[in-house]
Structure formats: structure tokens, C-alpha cells
A and B are shown apart, each in its own frame.
Chain A
Amino acid sequence: MSLLSVSDLTVKFAMRDQTVTALHDISFDLAKGERLGIVGESGAGKSITGFSLMNLLSKPGYIDSGKILFEGQDIAGMNDAQMRGIRGNKMAMIFQDPMVTLNPVLTIGQQMVETLQAHRKLSRDEAEQIAIVKLREVYIPSPEERLNQYPHELSGGMRQRIIIAMALLLNPQLIIADEPTTALDVTIQADIMELLLELCQSNKVGLILITHDLGVVSQMTERTLVMYAGRIVEAGRTREIINDPQHPYTQGLINALPQQTLPGHRLKQIPGNMPSLTSIPVGCPFSPRCSYAVDHCRTTRPEPISYGTVRVACHEVNRLHNDTPDQEKQA
């Protein structure tokens, strides 16, 4: 049985004069200990997917339909008390910006102890001992002293390590990391990712990594979802998606990587912008920006189909694949 099984998840936002759909029929599975990457531009619905899994959508967002089975139980239908038992306990989340994630007026120790005490009957001393062990696992120097420090006394990288330690406090089955290094210094980003990977592997924790960095996804994850305008456009094994992308959007993302461009040349960006949720084009949402789009793409929405080992939502995937000039592949 898979650890997490999401089927036809649809999330809507009730705005003042209309209801917009932020996620359309998202479906995916995650096995125990598996690492999944969710990539896409800003506004693709990656973070909303992450927060839906925690049942933590902020108003006016809500889960409209679909199932989120976590260890066989449907999270989408749980009440607050049931959900509290899972959050931070079996499923932990790492937020984007460590500078604003920790409460500024509580010490690191208080914030770690309260997490443990929310889920286990522990004395303060016992909880602190566990916290110290976890802080050591994320290579925090002199963890005993850190417990009495406030967040503002620590650097961003240090704070994100502490947040990772907090995520591991109760030995969760799944960690959802929402762009955990975006707000950090470039030099620290790689360290944090390496640490996260190491801990997930050694503790056999499942990981959902939300990021826009394909390079990170290729190093960290086994499977990948590519999202665009609230839909999964391509899903499959990370290696195949990176090496042989099928959807024109995925191809665009990979071509836009700086490594794909010779020095001195312009980066190959995808023309145009992600459509806003209120004005998603009929047909394929990517069609206005897609160089392969034909009339059919602008009128009919493509459903995900299996293509080799991946699933891809594109009408023209066959033509596209045959059209890819062989000489370019060899070059």
C-alpha cells in the first residue's frame, strides 16, 4: 500500500464574485520512503498542493472534491482534532522562508518542546533531550545552548536546519518541503538540500519537494510532477523527465536552465507568462506559449495519457517526439 494516494484533488478559491479553481484533478501516489518533486513556475499550484496535503489551505481556499489517502485515511474529510494528530506528527512541513517561520518571541527550545508535547506525553526535560538529539542530527553546534536562544540570534541557514530538526522530531512518515532553500544564500542551499536528502534516506522518510529548480529535483527525487496552471502536465521518473522531457512545457523549463546555454548567449526562456487563475485559456492551458500548438490544442483540453513510462497531458506528444530533430539530440 502506498503511503499517500491523492486522487482527483480539486481545490477552489471562493472569491467575492466568482469561484476560481486552483487545482484540477490532481492525482499521484507516493510509496513509503519515496521522494517526489513537484516543479513548475510561480502560480502553478505547487504550494497549494503541499498545503492541501496538510489540510492547511488558508481561506478562501478549500478542497472541493477528491481524496487524499494518507496511510489509508482520507485527510480531506478529517476534522480539526484528527488533523492536528497528524500534522507535525506523521506528516511534517518545512516552510519556504526560515526568517519568518519561527515565532520571534519564543525560544528554539520552547518551539521544539511544544511540538513534542502536542503529540506525546513527555516532561519538559525528556522533550529537551529529544530536541538536542535531533539538533545534533542536523549538525547544529552546541545544541544545548541553542534551546535557550531566540530565532533572531541565529542565521537563516541555521534556522532552516532547526526547522528540519523540528520536522524530524516525531519521526514522521512524510515531510513536505515547500521551496526550503529559496530564501537562503546560494552557498547554503546545497548544504541544506544535501542534509535533507541524507536524513530522508537514513530515516526512510517520504519527501515531497516543492521547487522550481529542476537541478535540485534531479538530485533529490525519484519521481517528478510537472505542474502548470493547476494541472499536472507531466509525471514520471525524475531521470526520464529530465533526460527526455515529453511535454513542451517541461522541455521549455529544461532548456531555460543556464547549463543548457553556451556562455555569452541569451538564456532560452519560455515566452509569455503563466495565465492567472481567472483567465485560463480554453483548450490546453499552455497553448498560448507553446510553439508546437495547433488549432486542436486551443479548443480541446488534453487529458493525461501514458507515453512510455511517463504520463503526459499533451495532444501533440507523438508528433513532437518524432519531430525532435535527431541531430539536435546527438549534439
Chain B
Amino acid sequence: MLAYLVKRLFQAIAVMFVISVIGFAIQDNLGDPLRELVGQSVSEEVRQQLRDELGLNDSFAKQYLRFLGNALQGDLGTSYFFKEPALDVILKKLPATLELVLGATIIIVGLSVPLGVYTAIKPNSIISRIIMGLSIIGISIPVFLTAILMIFVFSVELGWLPSFGRGDVVHVWGYWDTNFATLDGWEHILLPSIALASIMLPLFVRLIRAEMMEVLESEYVKYAKAKGIHPGRIYFVHALKNTLLPVITVGGVQIGTMVAYTILTETVFQWPGMGFMFLEAINRVDTPLVVAYLIVVGFIFVVTNTIVDLIYGLVNPTVNLARMGA
């Protein structure tokens, strides 16, 4: 187990290294930091002098190592717009995004398993056909369109749910304010969560259905029937457990991807998370903030994938975590 974790840690470091190189290359090539720092009126000589002082004329490698050294100490640069450390800006926005992702994940996990299992067991029923038809529509419509449609229906026409912002949040700890403590918070997070889940949920329903149908054809399911096991147990113990193995792997990657999808959802719902912040940062050519966002999202990816691999090892008895590091 420990050996496996150490091995994963080295892999994570390698991935983070690559992300940091790419992130830094963007910072190095995207726009001119001086334009953001000084106005039009500064002369070219002064600009050169400033470049020297800021180290912008050093070689790429030298600049990168400086960036890396700072990054390892938690310094991902200072936001041009907020005049604050970029990492702090992101950490303030992070809880809102994570809560949104959590809301969407609850919807996805809660619905995809029953729907996927049902459509696999009764592939020809009318309800299954409706679910599969809807899932195609869900996959096909982009998140921002789903979001706008839902605002139109539930906020504008019906007036049931708020259309923007986080509403009443309750302070928990540090930068973390939660939506889940008040009814108003729940109402605010519902539509954005559904919008964010709208792409992944159909994908998971289809994935679970396809895997489940394959498992139901397997010899061990037929054998379980031959032993006189009740169908409920065959579906939910024999088949589902085997179905979930590949689903967990794909799911882990998708949760990471969902963090990226939050950019669209947060923008439409004016959700004060880091996706919304990222888009604003791009508009303002706030390069340090953009780079810091990339690195934080990369870090979230690496962490979720590692956790998913560990869960996979717990569910699948043929994976021996204790032996995998050796």
C-alpha cells in the first residue's frame, strides 16, 4: 500500500511538472506583462529597464526555474487585477466551485446507477427507450444552452428558483462558505448543479447500461441463475459490482473534467467560483491568475485520479494495492 502511494506520488509529481512547464510557457508568451503594469506614457528605455529588473530578459530556463522555486513555496505569482497572490484569489473561489461539482456529482451518482441498471435489465421497455432518447438529447445539448433554457423555464417563466449567485451562504472554515446549510442556498445551487450534470449524467447512464448488459451475458451471471439466486441479488450484487469497476475509472476522469465544465455553468449562473473567475481573468489578460488556475485544476485532476485508483483497488479484489508498488 505504502509503496503504491509512493509510486503514485512520483507519477503525480511528473504530471504536475509537465503542467507547470506548459503553464509557464503560456505566461511567458501570452501578452506583455508590462502593458498591464505600466501605462502608455512610459518610454521604451524605462520599459527595458523594468524588464531587466523583473527578470523578463533572462533565458526561458532561468525564468522557469525561478517560477518553479516560487511555486514550490506556494507563490504562483500576483494577480495583476486583484493585486493579491494568485493562489489566494483562487482558494477564495475554490469552495464555490467544489460545492457545485459536489452537487452535480450527487445528481449523477444518484440517478445514473438506477437508470443505467433499469435500462440494461429492460432494454426494450418503453421507459428505457424514453430514457435512452433523453440521454441522447442531454449529451447533444451544450451545457450553456441547457443552463439558459432552465433559467428561462424555472426562473423567468415559473419563478420557482433563483437564476444567479449563491444566495445565503454560511461560513464554515477559512475561505469555505457553504450553500448546503440554508434552504436559500439549496435553491441557488439546484439549477447550476443540474446544468453541470446534464452532460455527464446521460454519459454515465449509457456507460452503466452498456457495461451492465455485457456483464449480464457473462458466464458467472448465468451460473448464478443456475444456482437459483434471486434476480434482485443477481442484478445488484453479482452484476452491478462488476459493472462499476470500469465505471469508477471513467468516472474519476470525468469528475476532473467537470471542474473544467464549471467555467460555462458558472458564467451563465454568475456563480462566484473559480471557473467564472478564470474567464474574467482571461478577459483581463491576468496571466498569473490564468496560469495559477491551470496549475490548481491540474492538481485537482491528479488528486481525484489517485483517489479513484485507490477506490478501484478496494472494489476490485484482483488488484492488490499492497503488491502493486513492488
Is A88's CB within 8 Å of the partner chain B? yes
Known: A87-B225, A150-B317, A152-B318. A104 touches B220 (CB 8 A): yes
Interface of chain B residues 218 through 252 with chain A (CB within 8 A): 218-220, 222-231, 233, 237-238, 241-242, 245
A114–B222 Cα distance when bound, in Å, is 15
**Stretch with Cβ within 8 A of B (4 or more), from A67-75, A93-101, A286-294:** A93-101
Known: A56-B222, A95-B223, A100-B220. A105 touches B228 (CB 8 A): no
Contacts of A118 in B (CB 8 A): 227-230, 233
Is A166's CB within 8 Å of the partner chain B? yes
Q: How large is the interface on A (under 10, 10 to 19, 20 to 34, 35 or more residues)?
A: 20 to 34
Whether the Cβ atoms of B230 and A58 lie closer than 8 Å is no
Nearest chain-A residue to B218 (Cβ)? A100
Interface of chain A residues 66 through 125 with chain B (CB within 8 A): 80, 84-89, 92-93, 95, 97, 100-107, 114-115, 118-119
Nearest chain-A residue to B223 (Cβ)? A101
Is A54's CB within 8 Å of the partner chain B? yes
Q: How many residues of B contact A (CB 8 A)?
A: 24
Whether the Cβ atoms of B226 and A88 lie closer than 8 Å is yes
Is B11's CB within 8 Å of the partner chain A? no
B229 interface neighbour in A95, A97, A114, A150, Cβ under 8 Å: A114
Nearest chain-A residue to B242 (Cβ)? A105
Interface residues of chain B: helix, strand, loop or mixed (majority): helix
Whether the Cβ atoms of B225 and A56 lie closer than 8 Å is yes
Whether the Cβ atoms of A104 and B317 lie closer than 8 Å is yes
Contacts of B242 in A (CB 8 A): 103-105
Nearest chain-A residue to B219 (Cβ)? A100
Contacts of B223 in A (CB 8 A): 93, 95, 101-103
Whether the Cβ atoms of A89 and B222 lie closer than 8 Å is no
Contacts of B220 in A (CB 8 A): 100-104
Is B106's CB within 8 Å of the partner chain A? no
Can you list 10 A-B contacts with CB-CB less than 8 angstroms, sorted by A residue number?
A58-B222, A93-B223, A93-B226, A95-B223, A100-B218, A105-B245, A106-B238, A114-B229, A114-B237, A119-B228
User: Which A residues contact B (CB, under 8 angstroms)?
Assistant: 54, 56, 58, 80, 84-89, 92-93, 95, 97, 100-107, 114-115, 118-119, 150, 152, 166
